[in-house]
Structure formats: C-alpha cells, structure tokens
Amino acid sequence: MTNVTKLEIRVGGHDGRILILKGRVAWMVDRLIKAGPRGTTSIESPAPRVSHYVFKARQAGLDIVTVDEPHSGAFSGHHGRYFLRSKVEVLSVEVAA
C-alpha cells in the first residue's frame, strides 16, 4: 500500500479549483480515488480514524457519500462504505520514502 503524504487535485473539471491535501486526508482521498465506483471501508483501508479523514475531505469541499453496510465475524455489526462522488483529476502525488 502506498503511503501518500501529499495530494494535489483539481475538483470539477479543467476549470475547477485546486485542492492540496496532506497527511492522512491525502492518503484517504487517494484510497477513494483508487477504489473508484466500488468505494472503500475502514476494513479495506485500515487507519486509526478513517471517518475523521473523510470528514476533513468533505470540509475541503469533496462530495463523499457514506452507505451503511453489515459485516459478519467475531465483531459483527455495521460499517460505512465511502464513495467519492466529486470528479477529480490528480495533478501530483507525494509519497513517503
């Protein structure tokens, strides 16, 4: 798994605004972009505070939808599946060495 530390994206097409995301928010948005239409969950993209990173990406202006879905296992219950709905173009990516 790539550890993205900085992500520069254009939101909304060729004349859209530029966002520069850093740290775990950049990592989460990168995961959402790579997941495409299938979306991602904290089970598939484990990190300490996935829902917080999604919250911060929403605050930055990205349209991210959460769909509740069940899971089984020893700790069965529900979790959120996140889908990036904003049209984005990746302009640059920085990864940790």
Q: What is the pLDDT of residues 25-81, one digit of tens each?
A: 999 999 999 999 999 998 887 788 999 999 999 999 999 999 999 888 888 888 899
CB atoms within 10 A of CB 72: 7
Q: Are 71 and 49 in contact (CB under 8 A)?
A: no
Helix runs in 1-97, H state only: 23-35, 50-59
C-alpha distances in Å from residue 88, one per residue of 11, 40, 63: 5, 17, 10
Q: Are 25 and 32 in contact (CB under 8 A)?
A: no
pLDDT of residue 89: 97
Tokens of 89: 């173009």
